[in-house]
Amino acid sequence: MDQSVKSMQTMNKTRDYTLFDRLCLGADQVVRALTNNAITTGQPYPAKSVEDHPMTTEQRKHAAALMRINHTGEICAQALYHGQGLVSRSPVIQEKMQQAAIEEGDHLAWCKQRLNELGSHTSYLNPLWYAGSFCIGMAAGMVGDKWSLGFVAETERQVINHLEKHLNLLPATDQRSYEILKKMENDEAKHRDEAIISGAKELPSPVKLAMNFMSKIMVKTVYWL
Ligand SMILES: [Fe+2]
Ligand SMILES: [Fe+2]
């Protein structure tokens, strides 16, 4: 495991952070997320041993646009967990959010690596999506830990549905992106189940619909930008 991750986990277990500590940690997390330098668990790249089959220019562009959306989705995940962790009053929830953000860091790194391989860029709108998701995460965290976990469970549910769609939309020859999304889907299912086991409350339908609406706007804009 990455030495920085080990030391961060050790720090989490041995000290209580003041608000100032958490703000400094938060600023570091924002910069890391937006510069593709988020802390990861060091899981291997899922596409490592998958052949990169030739694609037409159009197929490559389409695959890159889909991976750009997934990269932004992971930026949003980082922001949601950071926002929730910042305002949660429970050290247990703070640590869970911290750990979840580290695990999502793997996904962020994989999507970025695949975008590089496809010769494309991350979304120009990522700072905006980070800011919006961070505020939503803080709002969810302020309502209480069970609701915060409910928000995580619902987010992961929607992400799994979205990844399922993208697995079908990828060009058949893009097996490398496919393997990455498949592994992400498995990880998101674990995150969803952990949130439910930890006591997540089921969110009201209007909140679920609003979350779905927001993610649709993200998907439509980030495909092009
Ligand atoms: Fe993820
Ligand atoms: Fe997740």
Reported as a single tens digit per residue, the pLDDT across 77-104 is: 989 888 888 887 778 777 777 888 888 9
Question: HEC states along 106-117?
Answer: HHHHHHHHHHHH
The model's pTM is 0.82
Q: What's the confidence (pLDDT) of residue 3?
A: 43
Q: What's the confidence (pLDDT) of residue 17?
A: 66
> For a pLDDT cut of 70, what percent of the chain falls above it?
92
CB contact set of 95 (below 8 Å; sequence gap of 6+): 12, 13
CB contact set of 132 (below 8 Å; sequence gap of 6+): 76, 79, 214
Lowest mean pLDDT among 11-25, 60-74, 154-168, 190-204: 11-25
Residue 60 located in a structural domain: no
Q: What is the mean pLDDT of residues 143-170?
A: 91
Cα of 187 vs centre of ligand 2, distance in Å, is: 6
Cα of 48 vs centre of ligand 1, distance in Å, is: 18
Q: In this structure, what CATH number is given to the domain that contains residue 187?
A: 1.20.1260.10
Cα of 21 vs centre of ligand 2, distance in Å, is: 25
Task: Name the DSSP letter for residue 50.
Answer: S
Nearest CA-CA partner of 179 in 43, 38, 42:
43
Classified as helix, coil or strand, 203 is coil
Cα of 76 vs centre of ligand 1, distance in Å, is: 9
Task: Give 20 or 221, the one with higher predicted confidence.
Answer: 221
Q: What's the confidence (pLDDT) of residue 15?
A: 56
Burial 187-219 (b: 16+ CB within 10 A, else e): bbeebbebbbebebbebeeeebeebeebbeebb
* Token pair 């969803």 in the structure block, residue: 192
CB contact set of 145 (below 8 Å; sequence gap of 6+): 88, 89, 90, 93, 199
**Has residue 38 got a pLDDT over 90?**
no
Q: What's the confidence (pLDDT) of residue 90?
A: 79
Cα of 197 vs centre of ligand 1, distance in Å, is: 19
Residue 37 located in a structural domain: no
Q: What's the confidence (pLDDT) of residue 16?
A: 66
Q: What's the confidence (pLDDT) of residue 167?
A: 95
Q: What's the confidence (pLDDT) of residue 9?
A: 45
- Please give the residue range of the domain that contains residue 198: 72-225
- Least distant ligand from the CA of 73: 1
Cα of 209 vs centre of ligand 1, distance in Å, is: 20
182-193 pLDDT tens trace: 999 999 999 999
- Least distant ligand from the CA of 76: 1
Residue 77 located in a structural domain: yes
Residue 140 located in a structural domain: yes
**Domain count along the chain:** 1
Residue 30 located in a structural domain: no
**Has residue 7 got a pLDDT over 50?**
no
Cα of 57 vs centre of ligand 2, distance in Å, is: 31
Cα of 160 vs centre of ligand 2, distance in Å, is: 9
Lowest mean pLDDT among 12-21, 32-41, 108-117, 215-224: 12-21
Residue 31 located in a structural domain: no
- Least distant ligand from the CA of 194: 2
Nearest CA-CA partner of 121 in 111, 129, 131:
111
Distance from C-alpha of 46 to C-alpha of 95, rounded to nearest angstrom = 26
> For a pLDDT cut of 90, what percent of the chain falls above it?
43
Residue 108 located in a structural domain: yes
